[in-house]
A and B are shown apart, each in its own frame.
Chain A
């Protein structure tokens, strides 16, 4: 059916919003009709979430107009948004952990229904669109997918006819994603207007009717999905045609650096997050690690870095150039560094783990090396020098090396972090989601830096989420599935489909293959 037949639900005209000096949205236009699914597409940091938060009443626009059903409105709070029929499912779920599903659903409502009536109404919504929600279940006992379902039920219960889903698939398995799309189509058939924020092109093409694209806070156009292709959308999204051509230097002088055997990690509830993981990492190559987010990547890297306690029987051995293998699990994070193992680790959570947000570049340079030497006092000379060097060589945009790194943009923060870890002259370099949230140019800078390390003979471990990048950058790809090694593939010969399949379908016990 053509979406043009339907009535306009939302019109946003010339919407602008700034945070301090950072312009998040600049004169953005957007419209959505009832009975359609609109994809809001854009790179990380292109202002998608900010724009939607102004519809849901979290932020207030600095300028512009919002029209709902043709009427100009002012949305001052989430309460106003709900009254206008706008419901948003945030990326970080807005649920109260100690409440039941039903309690979360009625939160803030002024109706007089008893809890039993509420549960019945929830059941009827579930029946209508094909959800599954246990109204009596406490949120802290729910899986991520259950929480997301609950969020959607919550906005539907409130009678929302405009739904905004902020990157709903980022946390879901492919099966769960499919289920979600099924439900979205049911809601669309019911006449709801749906906006889905995403940066995954295949999802955009498979689920939406139209696509609105944002680039650096500005709207660059809206296209009918049936007229769009992956490359046309990419072009709109990034502005110019991007060479998806990442250099892959040949592997030279391949030597064993890291040997992980039977690594298992239990979480706080005793469940296995990593199960019997074994692999090897060699100098002069990039080992890519693929997997659905949250299937053990973080724990794997942290275990190697000495930040994660491991189950009995695990072994992680490191072989320095021209030395005997050493067991790392007996050492803590500092000892691993002090015994001469140059192990660098770029963690996923930059400002929450890798850097101290309130400190400047200089003091952050000290983070991994401050304890060196016998003096009880800090030495600031070398870190200052290093900070200046990184600022110059990696073109870090900052007002000064003592400006708190929190004030830097995401890409510059990542440059500081990667720069520091590389400056250690490591023999093993681990990075987790090194390009998440970065623009294309910075991403390529990071790929270049990793390749330089590889050429220097460093064993690089690259945990990534973009399969295209993994295939282009890595030499081998280790696929994690539910905390287990589900295959180690040669990146030059494997296909995206093969990796995707291994990410989602766990082979039977003991069926792991080694390349």
Chain B
């Protein structure tokens, strides 16, 4: 039983990192932009979020719980949003191909994250830890987390796990229930129509992509300060990059719906960590790599099914990946 709970808890934390990236990507894709720079953005967010939290707790004698959260989360969001700004400027204003810009941003962002991350690591070491920030990020809900199995399963996580769920619901309601959400979806479905309806397409794109990238950045800081035990290592950048591609996959898996992303991301987490728990659980050896391959294969299957068996609403935004220039004839 403990193994099962351990597995689920690990999967939820892992999944939440992926979920942040997927929510950011969904917002971006709803604006019609396929952002393959997600790994770069998440890496930048993680590195700067960590560096800020690390600098804060080393600078003051008695670091404050709340300030630590604000510093880490705020910096990660800002770093992600700025990385998103580069992408947005190149694709929405300079109308350059989105795939090319996205892949370049991944190279650049991972580089930035790793390069500036290493400044925090003391010379000669390969990693360093933000002890206080880690405590803050893994703090369980007092009282409730002690309620046996239920407590462990539901209340034993850091605040960012719950924030992810809240965000998923908020983003979903925003997209499906509000006028602004409706306008944003129109931008991704048919920018010429949105434009003719008086929607400022460029403004919507910048807002959606920058906020989305900020949310993706949060995934990075969650990775370092919670999932990675508050440790930034020279290899952290590459690890975040690999994980962030799962976010891009998750968007397809959940068919652009952030509510589905909640359970979808946990499912990805279960797959990813199966190798560690399943052998003790049912006595069958599971190959680490083959289990970790599963999310990608499932995504491919969903991608194929999406083309044949699904309603138009469940497919991606119609204008995904194409630049919009008003005077195109």
Q: Does B318 contact A (CB under 8 A)?
A: yes
Contact residues in B for A313 (Cβ distance below 8 Å): none
The one of A94, A98, A110 that contacts B196, using a Cβ cutoff of 8 Å: A94
Within the complex, the shortest CB–CB distance from A97 to chain B, in Å, comes to 7
Given contacts A77-B195, A96-B190, contact A108 B183 (CB under 8 A): yes
Within the complex, the shortest CB–CB distance from B183 to chain A, in Å, comes to 6
Q: Does B189 contact A (CB under 8 A)?
A: yes
* B contact patch SS: helix
Considering the chains assembled together, what is the distance between the CA atoms of A154 and B194 in angstroms?
A: 13
Which residues of chain A (75-100) have a CB below 8 Å from chain B?
Answer: 77-79, 82-83, 88, 90, 94-99
The one of B189, B194, B196 that contacts A97, using a Cβ cutoff of 8 Å: B189
Inter-chain contact A90/B186, CB cutoff 8 Å = no
Q: Scan A143-175; emit 1 where CB is below 8 A from any B CB, else 0.
A: 000000000001000100000000000000000
Considering the chains assembled together, what is the distance between the CA atoms of A90 and B326 in angstroms?
A: 14
Q: Does B62 contact A (CB under 8 A)?
A: no
Within the complex, the shortest CB–CB distance from A449 to chain B, in Å, comes to 28
Q: Scan B152-192; emit 1 where CB is below 8 A from any A CB, else 0.
A: 00000000000000000000000000010011011001101
The one of A82, A96, A140 that contacts B193, using a Cβ cutoff of 8 Å: A96
A-B contact pairs, 30 of them (CB 8 A): A58-B326, A77-B198, A82-B198, A90-B196, A94-B193, A95-B193, A96-B194, A97-B189, A97-B318, A98-B189, A98-B312, A98-B313, A98-B318, A99-B182, A99-B185, A99-B186, A99-B189, A103-B182, A104-B193, A107-B183, A107-B186, A107-B194, A108-B186, A108-B197, A108-B198, A108-B199, A109-B197, A140-B312, A154-B197, A158-B198
Within the complex, the shortest CB–CB distance from A111 to chain B, in Å, comes to 8
The one of B182, B197, B329 that contacts A78, using a Cβ cutoff of 8 Å: B197
Number of interface residues of B (CB under 8 A): 22
Given contacts A103-B182, A109-B179, A140-B312, contact A94 B190 (CB under 8 A): yes
Contact residues in A for B327 (Cβ distance below 8 Å): 58-59
Contact residues in A for B185 (Cβ distance below 8 Å): 96, 99
Q: Scan B194-207; emit 1 where CB is below 8 A from any A CB, else 0.
A: 11111110000000
Q: Does A377 contact B (CB under 8 A)?
A: no
Contact residues in A for B200 (Cβ distance below 8 Å): 77, 79
Considering the chains assembled together, what is the distance between the CA atoms of A19 and B199 in angstroms?
A: 25
Q: Does A29 contact B (CB under 8 A)?
A: no
Contact residues in B for A98 (Cβ distance below 8 Å): 189, 312-313, 318
Contact residues in A for B179 (Cβ distance below 8 Å): 106, 109-110
* Closest 5 A/B residue pairs (Cβ): A108-B197, A79-B198, A94-B193, A108-B199, A107-B197
Contact residues in B for A110 (Cβ distance below 8 Å): 179
Within the complex, the shortest CB–CB distance from A7 to chain B, in Å, comes to 25
The one of A79, A97, A106 that contacts B312, using a Cβ cutoff of 8 Å: A97
Contact residues in A for B190 (Cβ distance below 8 Å): 94-97
Measured CB to CB, the residues of A under 8 A from B are 19, 56, 58-59, 77-79, 82-83, 88, 90, 94-99, 103-104, 106-110, 140, 154, 158
Inter-chain contact A58/B196, CB cutoff 8 Å = yes
Q: List 10 additional contacts besides A83-B198, A108-B199; criterion CB under 8 Å.
A: A58-B326, A59-B327, A79-B200, A96-B185, A97-B190, A98-B189, A107-B183, A108-B194, A108-B198, A110-B179
Within the complex, the shortest CB–CB distance from A142 to chain B, in Å, comes to 13
Considering the chains assembled together, what is the distance between the CA atoms of A79 and B199 in angstroms?
A: 7
| Nearest neighbor of B180 in chain A, beta-carbon distance | A110
Within the complex, the shortest CB–CB distance from B155 to chain A, in Å, comes to 37
Inter-chain contact B193/A107, CB cutoff 8 Å = yes
| Nearest neighbor of B179 in chain A, beta-carbon distance | A106
Contact residues in B for A90 (Cβ distance below 8 Å): 196
Inter-chain contact B189/A78, CB cutoff 8 Å = no
| Nearest neighbor of A24 in chain B, beta-carbon distance | B329
| Nearest neighbor of B183 in chain A, beta-carbon distance | A108
Most buried by A among B189, B198, B318, B327: B198
Within the complex, the shortest CB–CB distance from A410 to chain B, in Å, comes to 12
Considering the chains assembled together, what is the distance between the CA atoms of A19 and B329 in angstroms?
A: 10
Which residues of chain B (117-132) have a CB below 8 Å from chain A?
Answer: none
Within the complex, the shortest CB–CB distance from A408 to chain B, in Å, comes to 14
Contact residues in B for A104 (Cβ distance below 8 Å): 193
| Nearest neighbor of B315 in chain A, beta-carbon distance | A98
| Nearest neighbor of B199 in chain A, beta-carbon distance | A108
Contact residues in B for A97 (Cβ distance below 8 Å): 189-190, 312, 318
| Nearest neighbor of B189 in chain A, beta-carbon distance | A96
Considering the chains assembled together, what is the distance between the CA atoms of A450 and B316 in angstroms?
A: 46
Inter-chain contact A78/B195, CB cutoff 8 Å = yes
| Nearest neighbor of A58 in chain B, beta-carbon distance | B326
| Nearest neighbor of A103 in chain B, beta-carbon distance | B182
| Nearest neighbor of B329 in chain A, beta-carbon distance | A19
Most buried by B among A19, A78, A110: A78
The one of B182, B312, B326 that contacts A107, using a Cβ cutoff of 8 Å: B182
Considering the chains assembled together, what is the distance between the CA atoms of A79 and B179 in angstroms?
A: 16
| Nearest neighbor of A82 in chain B, beta-carbon distance | B198
Contact residues in A for B183 (Cβ distance below 8 Å): 107-108
Within the complex, the shortest CB–CB distance from A465 to chain B, in Å, comes to 22
Contact residues in A for B196 (Cβ distance below 8 Å): 56, 58, 78, 88, 90, 94
Contact residues in A for B197 (Cβ distance below 8 Å): 78, 82, 94, 107-109, 154
Considering the chains assembled together, what is the distance between the CA atoms of A103 and B185 in angstroms?
A: 11
| Nearest neighbor of B312 in chain A, beta-carbon distance | A98
Contact residues in B for A107 (Cβ distance below 8 Å): 182-183, 186, 193-194, 197, 199
Contact residues in A for B318 (Cβ distance below 8 Å): 97-98
Given contacts A59-B327, A94-B193, A107-B182, contact A78 B312 (CB under 8 A): no
Inter-chain contact A78/B186, CB cutoff 8 Å = no
Contact residues in A for B198 (Cβ distance below 8 Å): 77-79, 82-83, 108-109, 158
| Nearest neighbor of B193 in chain A, beta-carbon distance | A94
Considering the chains assembled together, what is the distance between the CA atoms of A53 and B75 in angstroms?
A: 45
